[in-house]
């Protein structure tokens, strides 16, 4: 019997925990669970709920002292299995003699970080997968135990790919645990594959949180395909900023600015007039066109005959609304005195 502590938070590791608890064939026993206060979006139960229901000791630690006491109370185990959880300190890893594996939702070394599924879609990857690796003191850079690949389809979005990888993990994790412990038993951990070095500055290596400024920067300068990938890569709309300028006033204090989310849109052909370039165009009633790039030039200066036609929008602190409803209530579109700019939230 292989005895483990299971570290996981959020949605991704929920199906795998259920599988490890109910699958007798894998000969794995979950002795304890470590999780966080994260909410779930695609499952009915949290990691904490599943552990409690099955009478498995569980903790949401505030610090390493609390975590170490919990692990000492649980007692000796063979392995820590980490899926979608924060970095474990060397102090915690030493309690299990460094025998800890992480299962990451990408094919490493690509897309190290907190949001590999989002970035795989955003960057237009055609494939992604799961990687099991031995934990080290560097995030997502340990020696590789095994991996599994899946295609990313045109119809995929964040939710569909997330659910598919999460389901794959239910079979992948038990086999990775058994494989690792066999290598420990046979003293063959040195056979683990080191991660390929493809350049520390390669942008395909990094997958920071979607709240990172780089995630939303310059979508107004993207192609149609890139914008569609960005939109599909989250469940939170396209983030942007709406700014209002007075056509004739030079009052520096007049610059109303609103954080927005674009929930639905269409890419349409549009003949941008010189006086409109770089700013949105609207009839104030039925449509709102945002200039975007189509052939590699900067859309904010030279729109290339295409526009993002917003169908559904949300201003921060308000409900989602159709573009017709938004235009009826947004006073700056009622007069010709103002210029409106909608763009990505560029880094300062």
pLDDT of residue 346: 67
Residue 201 has pLDDT above 70, yes or no: no
pLDDT interval class at 192 (50, 70, 90): confident
Q: 281-282 and 257-269: which strand pairing?
A: unpaired
* H helix runs in the chain, sequence order: 14-22, 47-53, 64-74, 90-93, 116-122, 158-186, 213-216, 224-232, 323-329
**Gap between the terminal Cα atoms of the chain:** 54
How far are the Cα atoms of 39, 141, 144, 340 from residue 136, in angstroms, in the given order? 27, 7, 11, 50
d(CA 132, CA 176): 7
- Cα–Cα dist 12/35, whole Å: 12
Q: Is the pLDDT of residue 196 over 90?
A: no
291's enclosing H/E stretch is strand 288-291
Task: Tell me: cis bond preceding 277? Omega within 30 of 0 counts.
Answer: no
Q: State the residue for tokens 């779930």.
A: 40
Q: What was the pLDDT predicted at 335?
A: 67
Q: Please state the rounded mean pLDDT for residues 233-248.
A: 90
Instruction: Find the mean pLDDT for residues 254-279.
Output: 83
Contact status, residue 310 vs residue 288, Cβ threshold 8 Å: yes
| Predicted local confidence at residue 328, as pLDDT | 92
Cα(208)–Cα(205) distance, rounded to whole angstroms?
10
Q: How far apart are CA 8 and CA 153, in angstroms?
A: 27
Average pLDDT, rounded, for the chain: 88
- Please give the residue that has the higher pLDDT: either 331 or 287: 287
List of domains in the chain: 2-205 (3.40.50.170), 213-343 (3.10.25.10)
Across the range 25-35, mean pLDDT stands at 92
Asked if the model's pLDDT at residue 209 lies above 60, the reply is yes
Burial of residue 300 (CB within 10 Å: 0-12, 13-18, 19+) is middle
Query: What are 70-113's pLDDT values in tens digits?
Result: 999 999 999 999 999 999 999 999 999 999 999 999 999 899 89
pLDDT(1) > 50: yes
Cα 289 to chain centroid, rounded: 28
Residue 229 pLDDT: 96
- Which pLDDT score, from 0 to 100, does residue 254 have? 76
The CA distance from 51 to 59, in Å, is: 10
Rg (CA), the chain: 24
């Amino acid at each position: 019997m292989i005895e483990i502590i299971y570290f996981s938070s959020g949605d991704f590791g929920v199906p795998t925990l259920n599988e490890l608890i109910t699958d007798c064939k894998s000969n794995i026993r979950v002795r304890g669970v470590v999780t966080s206060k994260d909410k779930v979006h695609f499952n009915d139960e949290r990691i904490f709920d599943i552990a409690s229901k099955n009478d498995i000791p569980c903790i949401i630690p505030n610090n390493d002292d609390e975590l170490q006491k919990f692990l000492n109370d649980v007692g000796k185990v063979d392995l820590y299995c980490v899926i979608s959880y924060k970095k474990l300190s060397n102090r915690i890893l030493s309690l299990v003699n460094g025998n800890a594996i992480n299962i990451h939702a990408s094919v490493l070394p690509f897309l190290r970080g907190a949001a590999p599924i989002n970035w795989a879609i955003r960057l237009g990857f055609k494939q992604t997968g799961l990687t099991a690796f031995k934990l080290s003191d560097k995030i997502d850079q340990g020696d590789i135990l095994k991996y599994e690949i899946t295609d990313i389809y045109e119809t995929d979005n964040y939710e569909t790919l997330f659910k598919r990888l999460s389901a794959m993990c239910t079979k992948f994790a038990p086999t990775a645990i058994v494989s690792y412990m066999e290598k420990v038993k046979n003293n063959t951990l040195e056979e683990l594959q080191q991660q390929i070095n493809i350049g520390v500055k390669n942008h395909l290596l990094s997958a920071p949180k979607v709240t990172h400024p780089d995630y939303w920067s310059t979508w107004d300068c993207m192609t149609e395909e890139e914008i569609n990938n960005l939109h599909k890569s989250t469940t939170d709309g396209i983030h942007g900023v709406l700014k209002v300028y007075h056509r004739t006033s030079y009052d520096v204090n007049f610059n109303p600015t609103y954080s927005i989310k674009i929930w639905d849109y269409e890419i349409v052909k549009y003949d941008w007039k010189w006086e409109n370039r770089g700013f949105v165009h609207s009839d104030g009633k039925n449509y709102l066109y945002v200039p975007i790039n189509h052939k590699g030039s900067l859309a904010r200066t030279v729109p290339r005959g295409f526009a993002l036609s917003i169908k559904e929008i949300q201003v921060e602190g308000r409900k989602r609304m159709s573009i017709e409803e938004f235009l009826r209530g947004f006073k700056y579109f009622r007069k010709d005195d103002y210029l409106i700019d909608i763009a990505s939230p560029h880094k300062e």
